[in-house]
Amino acid sequence: MAKIIYSLSGEGSGHSSRSREMITHLIGQGHTVKVASYDRGYQNLKDDFDVLEVEGFSIVSEDNKVSIGKTFAQNFTTILDRFEASNILKQKYFKEFKPDCVITDFEPMAAYLANELDVPLITIDNQHRMRYMDFPCPFEWKAEAIFIENLIRVMIPRPCISLVTTFYFGKKKNDRTFMFPPILRQSVIEAKPSVGNYILVYATKEYDTLIEYLKNYKREKFIVYGFNVDKTEGNLTYKSFSRSGFLIDLAGCRAVIATAGFTLMTESFYLGKPYLALPMKGQFEQVLNGLMLDELKYGKSALDLEKENISAFLYDIPEYTENLKNYEHKDNNAITEMLDLILANDGQMLQSFHDKRKTIFHFDEK
């Protein structure tokens, strides 16, 4: 059995949601897993696994737009903490634990230490779609796509194997990349969807513009999460976050309006819910999710939110619902079987990919 460091980004809850499923599987297979994360990743997993809190990058947004100044200021103040956390991670997890491999869900600290200490590195995330998969990209977004591809290369250097989760399957760029359906929580897989008389709204920050627009649709009912209050104002019912309560409302809604986060989008598709995506400006991955959504016609993407976009989405919900009947409802078996194969026979397959990876020069990397 393998000794594994599993590190994950703490930005948002999507990373911890899918990591929980993978870590649970690995432990169930008899592997020893030590986890490293921060922020929501640490908070969501610390009670159930052996988790070391590290420092990580966080994004500050205002009215669904990334604030570059506030993001820089917030992360600049933690630079010294990151150096200290890196040393602790290196000593406690790498030198004392002596892992056979590192698995990362877009967390750079452990990825860099894996490269420094010659430990095989596996990625499990959806971000590597933008590095290792061809995808539809209009000309006006080409420069941004190239920038993000190289940013991912800087953040997660030289993985030997990448397990990419995606709801849009493009051509992969190398033989070290394997693509799978999105990782789903078991509770989502077991949920029984129905069609209620309300639209579910989720805004990760106080998205005032959206709320003001929704108040005008008097005939529609909206259940709103993300404001951490419990109250009703006209046609809007606000609810404090509850993991079980939110899933019940997701499974029973007519459709979803939210930012273009990968996890909520894919859970919505699995449950057959049309989606109005509001990509956060300054986050290309959310823009990409919106572009893929438009191409698959499972809903609508609106980078610049206008009332007309909401009206068009509400009108087309029946069409989107029909299109979602073609969405493939698959569980996590394919990716867990691949993970088992990689780690089988004392990690012979993993070591083979690791040795091959070391022969590729950085400027030849794809």
pLDDT tens for 107-149 read: 999 999 999 999 999 999 999 999 999 998 889 999 999 999 9
**Residue 246: which pLDDT band, with cuts at 50, 70 and 90?**
very high
* Residue listed under structure tokens 């986890």: 35
CA 10 to chain centre: 10
- Tell whether the model's pLDDT for residue 362 goes beyond 80: no
Whether pLDDT at 324 is above 80 = yes
User: What per-residue confidence (pLDDT) applies to 203?
Assistant: 84
CB 103 within 8 A of CB 5: yes
Q: Which residues of 91-126 are buried (b: 16+ CB within 10 A; e: fewer)?
A: eebbeeeebbbbbbbbbbbbbbbbeeeebbbbbbbb
Looking at the predicted structure, is the pLDDT value of residue 364 above 60?
Answer: no
Domain covering 3-183+332-364, topology: Rossmann fold (3.40.50)
Exposure string of 175-197, with b = 16+ CB inside 10 Å and e = fewer, is: ebbbbbbbbbbeebeebeeeeee
**How many whole angstroms separate alpha carbon 272 and alpha carbon 283?**
26
Model confidence at 66, pLDDT cuts 50, 70, 90, reads very low
pLDDT at 13: 83
Of the pLDDT bands very low, low, confident and very high (cuts 50, 70, 90), residue 206 is: low
Closest CA to 327 of 289, 272, 290: 272
Instruction: Report the predicted TM-score, pTM, of the whole model to 2 decimal places.
Output: 0.88
Say if CB 103 and CB 334 are below 8 A apart.
Answer: no
- Closest by Cα among 103, 102, 106 to 130: 106
Phi, psi (rounded to 5 degrees) for 256: -130, 140
* Reported confidence tier of residue 359, pLDDT bands at 50, 70, 90: confident
Is the model more confident about 94 or about 282? 94
pLDDT of residue 33 exceeding 70, the answer is yes
What number of other Cβ atoms are within 10 A of residue 210's Cβ?
22
Q: Is it the case that residue 289 has pLDDT exceeding 80?
A: yes
How confident is the model at residue 161, as a pLDDT? 97
pLDDT band at 215 (very low <50, low <70, confident <90, very high): very high
For residue 35, how many other CB atoms are within 10 A of its CB? 26
296: its two tokens? 């698959």
As a whole number of angstroms, the distance between CA 262 and CA 292 comes to: 11
Is residue 350 scored above 60 in pLDDT?
A: yes
**φ and ψ of 100, to 5 deg:** -85, -25
Pairing of strands 255-258, 275-277: parallel
Q: Is the pLDDT of residue 68 over 70?
A: no
Residues 306-315: what's their mean pLDDT? Answer: 95
- Type of residue at 313: F
Asked if the model's pLDDT at residue 61 lies above 60, the reply is no
- Torsions phi, psi for 57 (to 5 deg): -80, 135
- φ and ψ of 56, to 5 deg: -145, 170
Predicted pLDDT of residue 117: 94
Inform me whether the pLDDT recorded for 64 exceeds 90: no
pLDDT at 67 over 70: no
Q: CA 169, CA 223: separation in Å to the nearest integer?
A: 32
Calculate mean pLDDT across residues 309-334: 96
- In the chain, list all ranges with CATH 3.40.50.2000: 3-183+332-364, 187-326
- Between CA 347 and CA 366 the distance in angstroms is 24
Sequence-ordered list of residues with C-beta below 8 angstroms from that of 214, at least 6 positions apart, any chain: 201, 220, 222, 224, 235, 236, 257, 310
Q: What is the pLDDT of residue 361?
A: 59
> 208 pLDDT band (50/70/90 cuts)?
confident
pLDDT at position 305 is 85
Distance CA 50, CA 31 (A): 13
Mean pLDDT (whole number) for 289-297: 95
Model confidence at 12, in pLDDT bands (50, 70, 90)?
confident
Q: What is the pLDDT of residues 247-267, one digit of tens each?
A: 999 999 999 999 999 999 999
Query: Is the pLDDT at 237 greater than 70, yes or no?
Result: yes
**DSSP code of 172?**
B
Residue 1 pLDDT > 70: yes
Identify which has the larger pLDDT, 71 or 188: 188
Contact between 354 and 179 under an 8 Å Cβ cutoff? The reply is no
**Mean pLDDT of the region 180-191:** 96
Average pLDDT score over the chain: 89
User: According to the CATH classification, is domain 187-326 in 3.40.50.2000?
Assistant: yes
Comparison of pLDDT for 127 and 88, the residue scoring more: 127
pLDDT score at 164: 98
Mean pLDDT of 314-318: 98
pLDDT for residue 70: 42
What is the percent of the chain with per-residue pLDDT over 90, rounded to a whole number?
76
Secondary structure class of 187 (helix, strand, coil):
helix
